[in-house]
Structure 1
């Protein structure tokens, strides 16, 4: 049951709590901060954890990705002082305007995401409406870097597709295209220079891999000093020179369609593309088309991010035999998700201690 209005206690709407048993600890800390949680149980899969939460806090069951359902929940609850999520829920200008309406007992003041990336949030609208935005920068960097290298190994060695062939009792297909290229003999190009990109470069050093890096104009020769990789002047230079290209940039207007069909065709024939950043950076339709060509661009791609995810998942790549797909799981390790939640809770504590 959703909590009735109680304007004396700041309420926080938890769109998706921390995973597994750590959810209860997270909610206890929100409570210790003087907040009254209302918890969405839609993505809590453990019945025992659901029961523990329902016994102690007000609960709802909504689709947090549905903007109308989200707004209706906020309005029905007479507003929330804060909102917390893990997934990239659509905080559009309309949602933010309605969540901050002065007709609500508690207009929204704070939004926190226990993850990196804010591309589904309208940050300009949040600033205009004086809504503070907090997130867990870098908390999952090691986990994403580790997973990225796992995708590289799978893409180069064909691990998952060979396993699928053997499950179908097809030995001939399983041993096709052998011998495979190793990571140590490949040149890897990293697009992006943030925490995750650097973690990937550092880990590749242990394989003896040659690493090239391309970043924004801020990635100058001076800032590249000490990086475990060679700085490239242009994106074209990196794309045309590397056997593996991995993308680690945020989803922004500047990076939208950064690797479209033309850029993908600049990649070496029989190269590998890995994208664990955002789907908008490598449009799925363009990638699907280029992967089906035989004379240019990558011959395989490993993709962890999609324009439509969750129960609404739909992608042209789902029918492409040259693509390995994973369900946006790169940062989903227990330690990374716990760290993201802890980091965000610290941000909430600072906000309520200072009032801003």
Structure 2
């Protein structure tokens, strides 16, 4: 009987010293980690990881490299852990589950909320369970969302830049300004992050409107710190600040495009800390440059091309604040996501039995939370 232990490929461990805690927890589950050190910058930490676990160094965002390391010369891995949006495509999944591997991929976990770079349909077909950690970074994302709102409304970054240029006149231009205390904030989405944003802006004195998924019924909305709107158009036209909090799905792609942006009131602000596909950058760029319609200012934390290959038409837009997809990246949020993922792994591994068993071929993933237009 095959007693080969379960192997886990850790594409990117938790940051800093939390990597050691995470890897020890995975080991305690009976997994044998192989750790990719590509995103571990500290030489001392790299050495400590390599002294205890098998270590490799490859580009986890490259499909061919990712698939090759999952196959590992035929030995294969039953489990994959990541925290970035790696390209877990159909081709990668098929190579990681092909016949002939000693261990075929059974379980994938991402210590983050999204799975939009995973082919979930292929994972289900191939019997690969998918786990993410929705809600683990809700507080962190909500904090940055509100910070971006305040920066847009109060012009903190713009005034700082003017003073550094030596221009007091430019720094005090457009004063007084609107604050959250006299703003109506519209939230597109009704998940944990949107709920936390609602609580925070209400503390400032803002009025809150919410447009959620079909599951955001009047009954569910009754306990919310905000008013439920029936349509997205109503929210866009009626709010001073619009903040987007929906996942990237087929239903939400282009949800707020050129036509929807034209509905926003003069002087309004749009904040996107969800996914770039929800608010296409080209449409937002054009709307911001059009004084006759669309939002006056935008703050964006998510882009179609991120990382070293970052590129966006918004990069030279004078009416937009940019943030490098950092909303959920606080130490506490990433530590919580790591802990939640280890707990999810423990549950799945307990359900599938010992490594010599044959886990059921059913892929499981978090349900998407789309919204109605």
Normalised by the length of structure 1, the TM-score is 0.96
Name the structure 1 match of 2:16: 20
Q: Which residue is 1:59 aligned to?
A: 55
Three-state SS of the structure 1 residue aligned to 2:285 is helix
The answer as to 2:177 corresponding to 1:202 is no
Q: Which string of whole-angstrom CA distances, capped at 9 and with x for unpartnered residues, describes residues 78-122 of structure 1?
A: 311100000111111111111101121111000000010111111
1:138 matched to 2:156: no
Which aligned pairs between 1:331-346 and structure 2 lie closer than 5 A? 331-346=328-343
Deviation for aligned residue 1:7: 7.5
2:36: which partner in 1? Answer: 40
Distance in structure 1 (CA, Å) of the matches to 2:93 and 2:318 = 41
- For residues 295 and 62 of structure 1, the distance between their equivalents in structure 2, rounded to whole angstroms, comes to 49
Which shows bigger deviation, 196-205 or 252-261?
196-205
- Higher RCO (C-alpha 8 Å, min separation 6): 2
| Corresponding residue number in structure 2 for 1:108 | 105
CA distance in 1 between partners of 2:214 and 2:124 (Å): 26
Give the secondary-structure state (helix, strand or coil) at the position aligned to 2:182.
coil
Name the CA distance, whole Å, in 1 between partners of 2:322 and 2:147: 13
Offset, 1:50:
1.3
Give, in whole Å, the separation in 2 of the partners of 1:247 and 1:165. 29
Please identify, of 40-49 and 281-290, the stretch whose mean Cα deviation from structure 2 is larger: 40-49
Aligned to 1:3: none
Q: Return structure 1 stretches of 4+ with deviation > 4 angstroms.
A: none
1:7 and 1:106 in contact (8 A); partners too: no
Per the alignment, in what secondary structure is the counterpart of residue 12 of structure 1?
strand
- Corresponding residue for 1:215? 212
In the alignment, which residue of structure 1 is the partner of 2:72? 76
- Structure 1 residue matching 2:204: 3-state secondary structure: coil
**1:32, CA displacement in angstroms?**
1.3
Distance across 2 between alignment mates of 1:179 and 1:61: 53
User: How far apart are 1:47 and its partner, in Å?
Assistant: 2.1
Show structure 1 runs of 5+ residues with no match. Answer: 1-5
* Structure-2-length-normalised TM-score: 0.92
Corresponding residue pairs, total: 351
Q: CA-atom RMSD, angstroms?
A: 1.3
- Show the counterpart of 1:192: 189
